[in-house]
Structure 1
Amino acid sequence: MSIQDIIEGKKQWRAHMARVKALPPDYQIVYKEMQRYLFKVGPVDLPDGPLLPGIVDFFEEGVAAGKGVLQLTGNDVAAFCDDLIKDSPTFADVYQESISGEVRPS
């Protein structure tokens, strides 16, 4: 990874977080909790993948439609997150495979 890649990644992350900060406060709280949860249990490609920007897109559409954040996610935000990543390999999956010696088909 070159310095340019790191700089570009930081620019993209700052732009992403600026979008989050433009959301209403209740959306920001739920987003940050989702982000924290996903970084703990989430998919391997979370930092570079489309999931987090997709959540912000979804939330922006909810704001535009005048909906509350829990109308979009439901009351169990962790279950909502689990549904989002149910088909994605997680770090826990990778770890389990490494200790069991299994090879996962691509």
Structure 2
Amino acid sequence: MGIRDVIEGKKQWRAHVARIKALPPDYQIVYKEMLKYLFKVGPIDLPDGPLLPGVVDFFEEGAAAGKGVLELIGTDVAAFCDDLIKDSRTYADLYQESLGNDPGTAGK
């Protein structure tokens, strides 16, 4: 990764953050909670993948339609996040593979 890649990545992240700051306050709060959860769960492609920009697109559409954020995602933020990443590889999956076990077969 060269310096230009780093600079371009920072520009993209700043533009992403600016989009979040333009959302209504309740959307911003839920987005921050989603980030906390997703960084703990650890989908591998989270920083570079389409998930976060897609969530912001979804939130922008909801805000433009005048809907509250909980009308869009429901009251369980973690369940919404789990549904978003259900088919994504996580760092836990990588760890299981490094141990030579299939995910979900620990102790068998």
- Name the TM-score, length of structure 2 as normaliser: 0.91
Please give the alpha-carbon distance, in whole angstroms, between the structure 2 residues aligned to 1:43 and 1:22.
26
Please give the alpha-carbon distance, in whole angstroms, between the structure 2 residues aligned to 1:78 and 1:100.
29
Aligned-residue offset at 1:95: 0.9
- Report Cα offsets for 1:50-79 as digits up to 9, x if no partner: 000000000000001100000011000100
Map of 1:67 onto structure 2: 67
Structure 1: tracts of 5 or more residues without a match: none
Please give the alpha-carbon distance, in whole angstroms, between the structure 2 residues aligned to 1:67 and 1:81.
19
Map of 2:3 onto structure 1: 3
State the identity as a percent.
80
Map of 1:16 onto structure 2: 16
Pairing of 1:7-86 with structure 2 (within 5 A): 7-86=7-86
Report the more deviating stretch, 59-68 or 36-45: 36-45
- Name the TM-score, length of structure 1 as normaliser: 0.93
Aligned-residue offset at 1:101: 5.6
* Contact 1:42 1:85 survives alignment (8 Å): no
Please give the alpha-carbon distance, in whole angstroms, between the structure 2 residues aligned to 1:10 and 1:99.
35
Please give the alpha-carbon distance, in whole angstroms, between the structure 2 residues aligned to 1:101 and 1:93.
10
Map of 1:95 onto structure 2: 95
Structure 2: tracts of 5 or more residues without a match: 103-108
Please give the alpha-carbon distance, in whole angstroms, between the structure 2 residues aligned to 1:29 and 1:9.
24
Map of 2:105 onto structure 1: none
Q: How many residues get paired?
A: 102
